[in-house]
Amino acid sequence: MPGRLQDKVAIITGGVSGMGLASTHRFIEEGASVVVADIQAGKGRELEKQYPGRLRFVACDVRDEADIVAAVSAAVETFGGLDVMYHNAGAVGDNSDLASITTEGWDDTFNLLLRSTMLTIKHSIEPMRKRGKGSIILTSSAAAVSLGGSGPYAYTVAKAGVISAGRYAALALGPDRIRVNIIVPGAFPTSIWSGHVGGDAEMGDRMGLDLQRFAGMQALPQVGDPRNIADAALFLASEEATFVTGVALPVDGGLTLHRNSQGSASGQLGTVSDAVATFKAAS
Cβ proximity of 14 and 44 under 8 Å: no
Q: How many CA atoms lie within 13 A of 130 on its CB side?
A: 10
Cβ proximity of 282 and 210 under 8 Å: yes
Query: What is the C-alpha to C-alpha distance for residues 13 and 28, in angstroms, rounded to an integer?
Result: 15
Kindly name the residue from 51, 86, 155, 168 that is annotated as catalytic.
155
**Nearest CA among 189, 235, 206 for reference residue 26:** 235
Query: What is the C-alpha to C-alpha distance for residues 241 and 238, in angstroms, rounded to an integer?
Result: 6
Query: What is the C-alpha to C-alpha distance for residues 115 and 117, in angstroms, rounded to an integer?
Result: 5
Angle at 4 between CA 165 and CA 79, to 5 degrees: 75
CB-based contacts of 192, cutoff 8 Å, min separation 6:
18, 90, 91, 92, 204
Tell me how far the alpha carbon of residue 2 is from its chain's centroid.
26
Residue 219: phi and psi, rounded to 5, are -70, -45
Task: Provide the total of helices (H) and of strands (E) in the chain, helices listed first.
Answer: 10, 7
Could you confirm whether 168 is annotated as catalytic? Answer: no
Cβ proximity of 10 and 86 under 8 Å: yes
Pure H helices in 115-152: 116-131
Q: Which residues form the catalytic set?
A: 155
